[in-house]
Every structure is written in C-alpha cells, then in structure tokens.
Amino acid sequence: MGKAVVLVLVLALQVIGLVSGGNFYEECDATWEPQNCWAYDDGNSLSLALVSNSSGSMIRSKRQFIYGSVSTMIQLVKGNSAGTVTTYYTSSVGDNHDEIDFEFLGNETGQPYTIHTNVYAAGVGNKEMQFRPWFDPTDGYHNYTISWTPCRIVWYVDGAPIRVFKNYQQSHGVPFPTGRPMYAYSSIWAAEDWATQGGRVKADWTHAPFVANYRGIDLDVCECYGGDCVYGCAAAYGTGARGQQSCRLDDEQLGTMRWVQEKYRIYDYCVDYDGGKVPGKECSLPQY
C-alpha cells in the first residue's frame, strides 16, 4: 500500500462547493493502522479501509489551526456497510477537548446511510443532529465541508448548508469552541454496538475490507499552535467584510437549509426529551 496521509480539506469561506485537487502526501499523516490507508493518483486521491472489528484506519492533518473551512470529496462504503462508521471531523487534543463532527453511519444494502453531526466545546457534547442523504453517497464523490468561525459553525453537503450552530458563549453561556486549535481527521472503524439501527444490525465481515474513498484537498484555515495566534486568528475571521459574511447565510442558503431540515432531518437533540433530557439554552435561540 502507498503512503498514508490525512484528510484536511478546505474551501474559501465565500465559495462552498466542490473542492479542487490537492496532494495528500504533503498535507497528511497516518495516526492509526497506516497499512489500511493509501494514497494514489499522484497523491490526489486516498482510500481508508476497515479490515476487521479492531483494525480500521485514521489520518490527521499535519497542520493545526483555529478557524477556517475544511472540506473533502468522499465516496462512502458501497453495498452492505452495516456496523461501520466513516468519520470526517476536526478536534483539539488533550482534556476537555473541542470537536466538530461529520460521522457517516453505514446500513444494510438498500437502506440509507445516516449523516450524524455533533459539536463539543470544553469536553461538552450531546448536540447531535442527524440526516438522511437525499442522494446516494456511495455513487461517486460528494463534498462535505465544515466551516468554523468565531460566530458560528456550519456543516455543508455538496455546497448546501444543513446545520448551523451559533456562538452564544458570551451572551448566554453556551459552550463554543474558541480557544483550542484543532487538527482535521478522518477515520473508518467498527461500531457494531450502536451504528446501525441502534446496534441491531452487525457488520458482515465476509464483505471486508470496507473502503471509503477521498478525492482532492484544499484548505482555508488560520494555522495556529496556541499562544497569541489564537487571538490573531479570531481577529482575522471576526472582523471586516470576511467576518461579517461568515456570520450569516444568504436567503438562498437559508432556504436550502430549511428544505434539507424539513425533509431529511431525522433527529434533533433540541426536541429530544427522552429520559428526562433537557435541551440546551441554544435550542431556544436563533441558529440562522
């Protein structure tokens, strides 16, 4: 297998769409089971393989950053992907971590994937929102983008915003990732106990290896390794025309997001009261 590299992909904040080509060799490192990931097409494409219930693969960006937009093209595992999870996310390291998630939960052949999103701030998560894709994510490549700025986080699929999480930390005490630089990660692993229909359907290991494919990397992030750069990056993304644009969706984007949520959202933590759950303060505040 070829040289392994991580998934950190970014698109300009002004233009969220399909990414242009990039070189995984230069941008990325393997951090778990490097024998199960390989780059090809002169480093412009990458594959991650899940071989057994204890042997998947993870890749991580060489660059650490605070704020920006990370994006990639992914073709998810074809056929029976039950019990598998392909992830694409950003995360800080250490205790009380920050994290912004895309997780793609596999399913039986003919059944749809689940697109799972979440955000952690200072170790606090439980802000899940899930969607059914309105396309076949195993048929060709589709773009997935995380845009992280001081005022909000936006998840995009093929250029369409599907979710916004606004920064209400100062005004309402809602935890939001602002002080910990992150890396970008992608992985594939087995989660038979919960991933597919609540764990009812297990992985069929006769279909292994399960392979997810990636194409193209780009980045528009503020590189940062702690210290004063945290404040410099916040200023770069929080002021001027760029900062203002990054804090709102235009009317077309807003309409698209509402359409996706009305038709394809299948879970929203803000309306889940099971087991005595209490939605966070942000659930009663505007997210658009």
Asked about 103 being catalytic, the answer comes back as yes
Of 27, 99, 128, 192, which residue is the catalytic one?
Answer: 99
Question: Rounded CA gap, 171 and 233, in Å?
Answer: 21
Provide the Cα torsion 132, 135, 141, 142; round to 10°: -60
Amino acid at 279: P
Of 26, 103, 128, 192, which residue is the catalytic one?
Answer: 103
Asked about 252 being catalytic, the answer comes back as no
Instruction: Map residue 175 onto helix, strand or coil.
Output: coil
- Spatial neighbors of 48 by CB under 8 A, at least 6 apart, are 36, 37, 56, 57, 58, 59, 86, 186, 187, 188, 211, 212, 214
Running DSSP on this structure, what letter comes out for residue 139?
S
Running DSSP on this structure, what letter comes out for residue 253?
H
Amino acid at 6: V
Q: Which residues are catalytic?
A: 99, 103
